[in-house]
Amino acid sequence: MLGAFVQAFRTPDLRRKLLFTLGIMALFRLGTYIPAPGVSAANIRARTDSTPDLLGVVDLFSGGALLQLSIFALGVMPYITASIIMQLMRVVIPRLAELHKEGQSGTAKITQYTRYLTLGLALLQASVFVTVANTQLFPGSPAVIPDDSWYIMAMAILSMTAGTALVMWMGEMITERGVGNGMSLMIFTSIAASFPPAFGTILESDGGVGRFAAVIGLILLITLLIVFVEQSQRRIPVQYAKRMVGRRMYGGSSTYIPIKINMANVIPVIFASSLLMLPNLAAQFGDAEEPWVQWLSSNFASPDDPLYLALFAFLILFFTFFYVSITFNPDDVADNMKRYGGFIPGIRAGRPTADYLQFVSSRITTVGAIYLTLVALIPTVVFAQMGIDQGMMVFGGTSVLIVVGVGLQTVKEIDSQLQQRHYEGFLG
């Protein structure tokens, strides 16, 4: 692997792509330390210890930029949310479904709509965070924006919205001119940057070395599980019949349809985490003496509360099946196979093929949903038993799943580019 890594930097074209990608990632990290206009860095440092646990989950995806109210405070979350919404809207809005089927031109229009929606969500989220940052989210702490005049608040909101637009552009530049998926690498950078300080915090705590070794061992076990499952797939054989088009013979080849065990990736976990943050945030706006506020605070204040874990598991299972049902359409796959003369051996073309694909997809999705639930919950439960602060969600199953998944995909792309140039790749 080391030889392949050196060979990647010796290849001029690939070296330029790698350096470009690393440069954009470095600029992204630099932007997380630049505070928005009017934000007091000293007051931010003073209120760090009062961070709510569940808000730390959101801050994880921005690499610490959210709690610092930097220009990149929102990170890539508005873009991810907009992308998910656009995917879901394809089921509701027929026009979007037609654009999706039009190929590259339709995809370009959907991408443009996604950008507009991203800016709208960024403006909304920035307004919320800037408005409540001084009071509800951090009671008893100094105001992070000492001058709360409308002009300063508007400047902070606009700068954070512009930062989101810049992050979106940087991610698209990585996808176009660099290596890997830009938005995924942005999230990878944010989470990976939180690892060193989190390790230092564990080492400095009571029983630091023992806890550190236990955390490392758990992360390695989860990583092995993620690598095994993410690489696993069910291959459904497909045979194409021979056919004459003019004077040329087409078809007669064999291939397969790869169905991954985890077709939903990390989307269900993000959906579930986002929904479960709402009760805790709602409690911040209510009177602390109200019964409903006390009930929410006692059951949703920490990710290791029993009710929180139960709802988290249920939502992951639900969103896994829901998301796969939207992104994988057996009827479309069966129609495309029939159009080009393909069939599954032993299965009739048309409706029987669609039913068979639906049957296989449902069984595999069940395994994938259970896998996502275990990966998301096991670290939380183990850390609770070990007495590790649940606010340290950088070692949670969600973050490890994202880091390992993005790392695998990026290595595969570098490996394929090396093999195109007749070099032995990382996985060779």
Q: Which two tokens stand for residue 361?
A: 């997809």
Q: Where exactly are the structural domains of the chain?
A: 1-193, 198-395
Q: How many CA atoms lie within 13 A of 170 on its CB side?
A: 25
pLDDT-derived band at 287 (thresholds 50, 70, 90) equals low
One fold for both 1-193 and 198-395? yes
Average pLDDT over residues 274-300: 70
- pLDDT above 90 covers a percentage of the chain that reads 9
| Mean pLDDT (the chain, rounded) | 78
Q: Quick check: 21 pLDDT over 60?
A: yes
- CATH 2.30.30.30 fits domain 1-193: no
pTM: 0.77
In CATH, which of 1.20.1640.10, 3.20.20.140, 1.10.3720.10, 1.10.3370.10 is domain 198-395?
1.10.3370.10
pLDDT at 52: 47
Q: How far apart (Å, rounded) are the C-alpha atoms in residues 393 and 49?
A: 15
pLDDT at 138: 53
pLDDT tens for each residue of 258-278 = 888 888 887 888 778 777 777
pLDDT-derived band at 36 (thresholds 50, 70, 90) equals confident
